[in-house]
Structure 1
């Protein structure tokens, strides 16, 4: 094993440097993962342009790799061996607090860099912290005793496994938070990696109607949505989406709206409220709405709408995502559109942000390519 590790380190807004780190010593309850694929999503785009803190950070929170070296206690705790391919969630909980005790480690303050200066979370933690390798844009990542680890089925390649995070989010948000199930009618706004993952989750759950909206720039993605199981797609720049939804549903509306248009402003939220059925629909939203002075509270209460927020995934959703990938029931490999090497992190992030490249859906960073 090499004595040095190469990593792409964010040193300032929209600035990355390739740096070398010493190979860390692995304690009996820790491990070292040789990273094969680090997925890139919209959160990376935001954090790259406007870092939430100034420390040098190895980004990358969607990480697949192989256990390179591990201690006996780590292997016993996690049920893995050296050489196993694993998916590591970005949360690193304390396993002492109330949230961790009930399995909701994603809410643990030990993972929240906004409230805990010493928090550990892959892709968010300063590379100045002990063990240094806290992100996927590197050749190796360090795994402490409290890393959340999933074994990847043998039939799932590393690059396909790179889709676990968006797919697990789609399962969590659509099925758990949104309550989509058999015979549900669903509107999915935005055909990006999250929206397309939700198409798969809703189809697998037995939804009877899946409608996906996008813009003229999303033409290829909308076609892929139909391949994955969407019944109707709507180009909101070419027709009135609400009128078309009412036409499709016979005027009754949908049961659940899943908004995957983070950064698109208030229009999708307003459309979602209008598109929901007359009583007791569910609207799930993500992203930030900086200002919403005319929020239609009266309409919300009259229709008895439930609003839920999309935040991360659970252990169970990751396991379901891996099982879905292993089934090969859907052509999910078509979501994995672009790959880049470690030296091209800047280009890879800008590709996800829509600045470069064509037909970009999910981008994978391959730390060992071109080295």
Structure 2
């Protein structure tokens, strides 16, 4: 089968290869991918500036939607032809305290699709039934492939740093997660949403305004703190969302958040901090790390897709054949696309 492979640990060490089909094991299903979203983490792996462990060679991709092609021995409740999306936790121990309490996304033995286990940028994917969810009627494969990144934003802003109606929310960065965080913030009733970017984010900031941001700020041209002093009571943001992964964004977030406010840190970044965390203490700010998601998160997001309360199609900038993966990645890196989708099959 054809698959997008990260084969080395240098910038650009990715290519499409013919690889053997995976083996269907007892207790698993074989998923025939139809559409797979390109994650910002995939772009980082393309440039080899990721800050997480990667096994090479590995089939990339973890934002998958498709149909069940085969059902292994012992699997019940699933049938060939079922339309499904697949969570990212390819393997967990199932025995630790985190797994037993439903927080398997934090299992210390977790291995994710696309970095430690072969992922979805191939024609077939082996998965355990515990990570499958049915795609609602009326939701297409490309839209369903957006479930994973929306679940990331949902976890951060509903299950972790909760947004309340009327809140002033600052979103740092308008890549994919920033864009999805904006939709979640609106759904939660945020009163004012401010999106921050840099000189390289001209396209992204324009898209943020189109998506409903009340204010957009290029932080290299103007000071967002000055704007925040004119909004509400002038004390700062109720919630700051760090969707950049750049460590210095946390320093900025501490400057912009109001006393007793909260910061949701979603973005990854290997840079050292190099600044004092005293403002975190002085303002009594709550800093929420947010990683991945769990079963209930996926079910909630799929329900919101089905009801039309969330709009996954609005963030898809283009669909690409597997051979055009580099164009899809570059469109996200440059900001032309919020999300790119690799169309694995026309079925």
Residue matched to 2:32 = 34
Structure 2 residue 42 is the aligned partner of structure 1 residue 44: yes
Q: Secondary structure at the match of 1:368?
A: coil
SS at match of 1:73: coil
Q: Residues 289 and 49 of structure 1: is their aligned pair in 2 closer, same or farther, counting only changes over 3 Å?
A: closer
Question: Structure 1's 224 and 347: CA in aligned 2 closer, same or farther, altered over 3 A?
Answer: closer
Q: Distance in 1 between matches of 2:270 and 2:2?
A: 38
Shift of 1:190: 1.0
1:6 equivalent in alignment to 2:5: no
Q: Deviations over 1:146-174 (max 9, x none)?
A: x5111111111111112111111111111
Are residue 139 (structure 1) and residue 137 (structure 2) matched?
Answer: no
Give the secondary structure class of the aligned counterpart of 1:81: coil
Query: Cα RMSD over matched residues?
Result: 2.3
Alignment of 1:1-371 (within 5 A): 5-12=1-8, 13=10, 14-50=12-48, 52-53=53-54, 55-71=56-72, 73-74=74-75, 76=76, 79-91=77-89, 92-111=91-110, 120-125=111-116, 134-144=118-128, 147-263=130-246, 265-266=247-248, 268-277=249-258, 279-285=259-265, 286-288=267-269, 290-295=271-276, 297-354=277-334, 359-368=336-345
C-alpha displacement at 1:24, in angstroms? 4.1
Counterparts in 2 of 1:65 and 1:363: CA distance versus 1, 3 Å: same
Instruction: Report the TM-score when normalising by structure 1.
Output: 0.84
Select between 337-346 and 16-25 the one with higher mean Cα deviation.
Answer: 16-25
Answer whether contact 2:305 2:311 (CA < 8 A) is retained: no
1:135 is paired with a residue whose SS is: coil
What SS is found at the alignment partner of 1:247?
A: coil
Deviation at 1:231, TM superposition (A): 2.6
CA contact (8 A) 1:342 1:368 kept: no
Q: Return 221-230 or 285-294, whichever deviates more.
A: 221-230
CA separation in 2, counterparts of 1:38 and 1:152?
Answer: 14
Alpha-carbon shift at residue 82 of structure 1 (Å):
1.6
> What TM-score do you get using the length of structure 2 for normalisation?
0.89
Secondary structure of the corresponding residue to residue 166 of structure 2: coil
Cα 1:289–1:137, aligned 2, differ >3 Å: closer, same or farther?
Answer: closer
State the secondary structure of the residue aligned to 2:113: coil
Residue pair 1:345, 1:365 contacting (<8 A) in 2 also: yes
Does the 8 Å CA contact 1:352/1:360 hold for their aligned counterparts? Answer: yes
- For 2:16 and 2:163, locate their aligned partners in 1 and report how far apart those are by CA, in whole Å: 44
Gaps of 5+ in 1: 112-119, 127-133
Assess, with a 3 A threshold, how the Cα gap between structure 1 residues 161 and 54 changes in structure 2: closer, same or farther. Answer: closer
